[in-house]
A and B are shown apart, each in its own frame.
Chain A
Amino acid sequence: MFDKKCSVWLLSAAAFAASWTPELQMKVKTVGEVVPSPDGRMAAYTQVRGVMDGEKSESITEVWLWTSGERYRLAVGTEPRFAPNGRFVYFTSEREGKPAVYRIAVDGGEAERISESKAPASSYELSPNGKWIAFTGREPDAEEERAKKEKRDFRVIDDSPKNAQLWLVSAEPDAGGKRSVRSLAAGPYNVSSVQWSPDSRRIAFETRPTSDANDGRKADILEVDVETGVVKPIAATAASEAQPRYSRDGRFLAFVRTVEPAGVLSGARIILYSRANGQLRELPATYDESPNLVDWTPDSRGVYFVEARGTRSAVYLMPVDGPAQPTYQPAKGTLGFSARMNSTGTYVGFSRQSPSEPVEAYLMPVGGGEPVRVSAANSDLELPALGETKVIRWKSKDGRDVEGLLTLPADYEKGKKVPLILNIHGGPAGAFNESFIGASGLYPIATFAAKGWAVLRPNPRGSSAYGRTFRASNLNDWGGGDYNDIMTGVDYVIAEGIADPNRMVVMGWSYGGYMTNWVVTQTTRFKAAAAGAGLSNMPSMWGTNDIPAVLDDYFSGPSYEQFDRYVKLSPLYHVKNAVTPMLILHGEADIRVPTSQGYEMYNALKRKGVETQMVVYPRTPHGPREPKFVLDIMQRHVEWIEKHI
């Protein structure tokens, strides 16, 4: 008994040792939405932590309140919103099984449920006058439940889209203590986001034909009159229209529209819709042509948005007469995409982090002034030494400038050559940014650095954050220019005298897994590889994944029309060249890159006699969620590297 206790103590002591480990990275919390109160004197924000006790393996999201310099946990829930009078914080929670809207008083007492449970609330907004809550949700299908029980639960694909509709519930109960819920808009579409007009009389909402990911590009904006229930289209074209935002004076509705036809590579512009005459005006292009709208300025003369530029995201202002200008760019690090303003337009809340600073919530006065940190999600954590992370630039094979992040070993001594981990991001239209390297994730950068390894995270052509042209420059060319961009980045780090060319490992998830699979069929320079949820066979990928339209965009048509191109861009087609030991990780519930892609690569390597191991994660979609699995993935990456270099 004593021995047991002792070893437990030793174990936990080890976890707190002065070095980064996957276990320690799991302790780093994340911060999501940050919402300023109407008077700007409070803020509500969400904080996420992993729970791995006993039979639990889940992320818990909590709503925290910051007031008078203090902070405390209000509730377990997410999507916090202040009542106009600032006395309540609304939120959603699944505490009673199905997601519902709740509210809790900021000055004490338990939370009360607002929405009925018959239509689970997937997103909601409170009316500016505080009287109503509009939410989206799909009515549970009783027949479906029964079929499941009776084992008649076969599914006809595409037959019955599970579409959410728009619902309305009053914030205050009637005399009988009840709140009546009514359907506000239901049609042959899925409702996915809600925006109230300033006078609380109308709601603009996004729709798409179904909730299928492949229909994401078919988003339209409709508006409903709350009193009459009359629905009219605001923007319903072949372009994708999303993110409706009413101006505070009620004259405009701003939204984001893709250049037609909507595709994964289309640029998106901010559009102003005049509510007086229905005219549309396209504002100048933003740097990356993918703005995330925040809200209008208090005087309704411009719209704030968050956008990435290189390795940083920042807040920009688009005046109604353009062009965009920066509002807040952090001195170091990057902002979260989901910034929110208070109803009065005086404060904006966002999350911020840098390679050496864990994420925290900040509040910033819109009129000017520095952001104030309101959260303390990670301030109790003692951070061991971190490797330095810097932005590096190099010339690719064709002369194009490419950027990436280089993290040096924690105890790096100049002139010493160290092993190099090449980590490739997903997308391909993703981008590595200056986020905290000690965060929990699939690739434990801080741990890698603590082990004495350098980590290169390139943003090759095809990445976002470098403008639309750069993002679209891997068209019909996966594994071509992007591959060269990545390899020249590795060459650069070798030439700098940092990386030991004989001790290099490549890894990545999703498109990063594709590129990892590709790399091992093109070069033998890496001693080991780890492909997470990676694509291997492009024709079968086209026919099995949930967003085939994206591949149509990248490869100029579906696989049955561009078969030879799909074949030649498939790592599996070139697998005869592969010799690199390969770890394959895949979620079993992944519909984006189905597990079959992992099996195809695995079985080919196995039959060729290449050292390979495949680990399958049950219940896991494209992005692993369960903390125990995330930890396992981090550990396996570390172990696979240690085994082979």
Chain B
Amino acid sequence: MKVLGPLVVLAALPVLADSWTPDFSMKFQSVSQTTPSPDGKWVVWVQTRNVVEAEKSETLTHIFLASSDATRRLQLTRGDKSCDHPSFSPDGRWIYFTSDRGGKRNVYRIALRGGEAEAITEFKGALGVYAVSGDGKWVAFSGFEAPADLEKAKKEKRDMRVVDSDKPNQTLYLVPAEADRDGKRVQKKLLGDAKYHVTSIEWSPDSHAIAFARQPGAGADDWTRSDISEVEVEGGKVRDIAVTPAAESSPIYSPDGRYIAFTRTSIPVKWAADQRIVLMPRAGGELRELPATQDEQPNIVGWTGDSKNIVFVEYKRTKNAVFAMPVDGPPRLLYEPARGTLGAIDLNRSGSAMAMAQESPDTPAEVFVLPVGARDPVQVSRANSDIPLPPLGRTEVLKWKSKDGLEVEGVLTYPAGYEPGKRYPLILNIHGGPTGVFGENFIGRLSPYPIAAFAERGYAVLRPNPRGSSGYGKQFRFANYNDWGGRDYEDDQAGVDKVIDMGIADPDRLAIMGWSYGGFMTSWTITQTNRFKAAVIGAGVTNLWSFTGTADIPGFLPDYFGGEPWEAFDNWKKHSPITYIANVQTPTLILHGEADDRVPISQGYEYYHALKQRGVTAKMVVYPRTPHGPREPKFVMDIMQRHLDWVEKYVR
């Protein structure tokens, strides 16, 4: 599992009418967790749809199956409980998956040839990830058993919490894939009581051992101390594979069993995360660090069947691309879409076929299968293909020079029905992270930012990838250290200048918006310039000092700003939007989830209260139950609509 930018919104729901409205965008389903069968003849994936009716406001995920030649397609799981994380048994006869259909989340399996699903695990705690052994005999899973007295304490109102002691560690469990004569599967704990938190599970090809990534605790800050160990299934002996101050993760065995490949950061671990692929020869010998990949953030997908290449996916500018890293390097490009970008890539066990989600700015996501070596992927899903699309604004990749001469890229969406020579209002939309990146994704999906709807209403939308973004190499990603609101701000503004110079944007009708770090940059920008007529701050960091002590990642900003606030206070003050709040004149809408642990809602209140007391036009909307990334579809629709309304009110 690669490290995502901490201030990035995960899993924005890709998602639709006759016109681009939040209601219409709701119709699009997202596709993910694509998995080809061992023989490459089948593929499974999940489709997630929005359920918005009466008292419901949720997403529902189910598993779909198709033949790789797209001649057959069916929905495997049903019901009002989600099913996800499908994987094939090594013999390809079963599809394992997880679901909370029985109350607690557990592992199930369903036969490819037909019939209902059966439960494999009967875990009473909280189940994390699972993996089926190479010989198909075992299912290993991670999870923790909630302290038995927790529920009781809650009922009896003795539910005070000692901070940092309330997140139990996930340990490893094992159950046989086949039931015994009494129809039972005896669960066994593979590691003793969890002295660390297990985050991934990988079976050795001979099914004798499990390599796992683990970290000291389940906190969001703990990934920086991720290490890798291996446990023997018989006897439970544990040995360390990679235990250093670097963060090591994603161990994957080569099919011949000679290597474990994993990713490793440099030391000290930096939050902008640079990673290399490392090979550990299992027979002994030195670890071998493979050549750097172009973005130094490889996500290992698997090995080719001949054990000669590691397949990984990585950001490449505004796309995701698939690469192969030979065991003696250097990496080479395996596949990148001609248009658009990839998501959810997986390689089958034999290394013969890949499945992936693919989308482009004007095409919603679908699942494709690509036999390794082939050039043209075959579309197997029809999650969104039957929805007639209203006219979309054209989206293209734009390059410009920043103030200091650095080349910066972004994605520009033209107003639908754009007429050259005519100027349009411009939305500047800033991504999170700061290590996020705007890719060539479908612009009509359900997301807080209704790009297609803006374009239809005659707005241009610029989505820049300023320094600090992923996809442009390590140096670019690290270029905003100690400088939030500095050159990254200039990169964004130079992008706006470029679109004005192109004769597209009307400089008197500009709006700015962003979520998370994008909310930081929005709240920063309006303290620096009055060029924007409206601003919307979503879950924005507004005060670096109070942010670091309240976020679930107190180690994050001290890394970006070279020390704790009590050590380098002036630096923290200098880069905090709240320091310059007296400059703000832009009408500002503030949106924040009430259950946001990443950027706590206090960040929104701090900014709102100051604007209110100063008499600046400001409105704050609070979303109950909502973490850093809004999930409930009714809330996402409300957020979309409020973005549209706020801009229409103050910019048009």
Contact code string B609-644 (vs A, CB < 8 Å = 1, else 0): 110111000011111100000001011001000000
Report yes or no: A152 in contact with B634, Cβ–Cβ below 8 A.
yes
Interface residues of A in 561-620 (CB under 8 A from B): 561, 563, 567, 572-576, 594, 596, 599-604, 606-608, 613-618
Q: Smallest Cβ distance from B556 to chain A, in angstroms?
A: 12
Given contacts A596-B600, A603-B554, whether A154 and B620 have CB atoms under 8 Å apart is: no
Interface residue from A543, A572, A626 paired with B549 (Cβ < 8 Å) = A572
Q: Which of A229-237, A276-284, A495-503, A534-542 contacts B (4 or more CB under 8 A)?
A: A534-542
Surface stretch bound by A, among B153-161, B184-192, B366-374, B484-492: B153-161
Minimum CB–CB distance from A380 to chain B (whole Å) comes to: 27
Beta-carbon contact of A600 and B550 below 8 Å: yes
Q: How far is the CA of A607 from the CA of B566 in the complex (A)?
A: 11
Q: Does A399 contact B (CB under 8 A)?
A: no
Check: A175 CB closer than 8 A to any chain B CB.
no
Q: In the complex, how many residues of chain A place their beta carbon closer than 8 angstroms to a beta carbon of chain B?
A: 55
Query: Do A596 and B564 touch (CB < 8 A)?
Result: no
When C-beta atoms are compared, the residue in chain A nearest to B547 turns out to be: A540
- A452 at interface, CB cutoff 8 A: no
**A-side contacts of B638, CB under 8 Å:** 152, 154
Whether B567 lies near A628 (C-beta < 8 A) is no
> Which of A57, A563, A573, A613 makes the CB contact (< 8 A) with B162?
A613
Q: Within the assembled complex, what's the spacing in Å between the Cα atoms of A55 and B157?
A: 7
Residues in chain A near residue B546, CB distance under 8 A: 537, 539-540, 596, 600
Query: CB of B55 within 8 A of chain A?
Result: yes
A151 in contact (CB, < 8 A): yes
- The CB with the most chain B CB atoms within 10 A, among A158, A543, A575, A594, is that of A543
Residues of A within 8 A of B607 (CB): 543
Taking CB atoms, residues of chain A closer than 8 Å to B161 are 615-616, 618
Contact B158 A628 (CB under 8 A): yes
Q: How far is the CA of A590 from the CA of B12 in the complex (A)?
A: 32
**Cβ-neighbour of A594 out of B158, B582, B602, B623 (below 8 A):** B602
* A319 contact set on B, CB distance < 8 A: none
B569 touches A573 (CB 8 A): yes
Contact B620 A157 (CB under 8 A): yes
B605 within 8 A of A: yes
Closest to B166 in A: A616
Contact A560 B620 (CB under 8 A): no
List which B428-459 residues lie within 8 A (CB) of chain A: none
- Chain A contacts of B56 at CB under 8 A? 151
B545 touches A540 (CB 8 A): yes
B307 at the interface (CB under 8 A from A): no
Least Cβ–Cβ distance between A48 and chain B, in angstroms: 18
Q: B582 near A618 (CB under 8 angstroms)?
A: no
Q: In the bound complex, how far is the Cα of B610 from the Cα of A548, in angstroms?
A: 10
Contact A157-B566, Cβ < 8 Å, known A57-B156, A151-B55, A558-B613 = no
Contact of A575 among B57, B543, B566, B620 (CB under 8 A): B566
Closest to A558 in B: B613
Residues in B whose Cβ lies below 8 Å from that of A491: none
- CB neighbours (8 Å) of B610 from chain A are 543, 558-560
| Complex contact A614–B162 (CB within 8 A) | yes
Measured between C-beta atoms, what is the minimum distance from B539 to chain A in Å? Answer: 14
Interfacial chain B residues near A601, Cβ < 8 Å: 549
Is there a chain A Cβ closer than 8 Å to B548's Cβ?
yes
Is the Cβ of B549 less than 8 Å from the Cβ of A150?
no
CB distance from A585 to the nearest CB of B (A): 9
CA distance A626 to B581 in the complex (A): 39
Which chain B residues in 192-232 approach chain A with CB under 8 Å?
A: none
CA A603 to CA B163, docked complex, whole Å: 10
Contact partner, A632, options B160, B164, B545, Cβ 8 Å: B160
The answer, yes or no, to whether A643 is at the interface (CB within 8 Å) is no
Residue of A with least CB distance to B614? A560
Is A154 within 8 A of B622, CB to CB? yes
A155 at the interface (CB under 8 A from B): yes
Contact partners of A602 in chain B: CB under 8 A: 163, 549
What are the residues of chain A within 8 A of B635 when measuring CB–CB? 151, 154
Complex Cα distance, B545 from A536, in Å, reads 12
- Answer whether A158 and B602 are a contact pair too, CB < 8 Å, given A576-B566, A607-B564, A615-B161: no
The complex places the Cα of A626 from the Cα of B162 at a distance, in Å, of 17
B residues within 8 A CB of A156? Answer: 619-622
Residues of B near A211 (CB, < 8 A) are none
Residue from the list A154, A544, A615 in contact with B160, Cβ < 8 A: A615
Given A539-B543, A540-B602, A614-B162, A57 and B157 contact (CB-CB distance below 8 Å): yes
CB <8 Å contact, A157 and B622: yes
Q: Which of B155, B613, B634 contacts A55 (CB under 8 A)?
A: B155
From the candidates A544, A576, A606, name the one contacting B609 in the complex (CB within 8 A). A544
Tell me if A629 counts as interface (CB < 8 A to partner B).
yes
- Judge whether B156 and A154 touch: CB under 8 Å: no
- Decide: B609 and A542 in contact? CB cutoff 8 A: yes
Query: Among the listed A149, A560, A617, A632, which residue makes an inter-chain contact with B55, where contact means beta carbons less than 8 Å apart?
Result: A149
Contacts A156-B620, A543-B605 given: A603-B578 contact, CB under 8 Å? no
- Per the 8 Å Cβ criterion, residues 307-353 of A in contact with B are none
Q: Are B157 and A543 in contact (CB under 8 A)?
A: no
Q: Are A150 and B57 in contact (CB under 8 A)?
A: yes
Does A172 sit within 8 A of B, measured CB to CB?
no
Complex contact A604–B549 (CB within 8 A): yes
* Interface assignment of A367: CB less than 8 Å from any CB of chain B: no
Digitize A144-172: 1 where CB-to-B-CB distance is under 8 Å, 0 elsewhere: 00000111111111110000000000000
Is B148 at the interface (CB under 8 A from chain A)?
no
Whether A54 is near chain B, meaning CB under 8 Å from some CB there, is yes
In Å, the complex CA distance between A626 and B610 comes to 34
Residue ID in chain B nearest A157 by CB atoms: B620
Map CB proximity to A onto B131-173 as digits: 1 under 8 Å, 0 otherwise. 0000000000000000000000001111111111000000000
Find out whether the CB atom of B609 lies under 8 angstroms from the CB atom of A572: no
In angstroms, how far is the closest chain B Cβ from the Cβ of A557?
10
Residue of A nearest to B158 (CB): A628
Q: How far is the CA of A561 from the CA of B548 in the complex (A)?
A: 23
In the complex, whether B94 has a CB less than 8 A from a CB of chain A is no
Closest Cβ of chain A: how far from B633's Cβ, in Å?
Answer: 9
B564 in contact with A604 (CB, 8 Å): yes
Q: Mark A445-477, 1 if CB is under 8 A from B, else 0.
A: 000000000000000000000000000000000
Which 8 pairs of residues, A with B, have the shortest CB-CB distance?
A543-B606, A600-B549, A540-B546, A57-B157, A151-B57, A614-B163, A157-B620, A596-B602
Can you name 25 A-B pairs with beta carbons within 8 Å? A55-B155, A150-B634, A151-B57, A151-B634, A154-B623, A154-B638, A157-B619, A158-B612, A158-B620, A159-B619, A537-B549, A540-B543, A543-B606, A543-B608, A543-B610, A548-B609, A560-B582, A573-B569, A596-B546, A599-B549, A602-B163, A603-B549, A604-B565, A607-B564, A616-B163
Given contacts A575-B566, A596-B549, 4 further A-B contacts (CB under 8 A): A543-B607, A596-B550, A599-B549, A629-B160
Residues of chain B at the chain A interface (Cβ within 8 Å): 54-57, 155-164, 543, 545-546, 548-550, 554-555, 558, 564-567, 569, 573, 578-579, 581-582, 600, 602, 605-610, 612-614, 619-624, 632, 634-635, 638
A residues at B contact (CB < 8 Å) = 54-57, 149-159, 536-537, 539-540, 542-544, 548, 558-561, 563, 567, 572-576, 594, 596, 599-604, 606-608, 613-618, 626, 628-629, 632
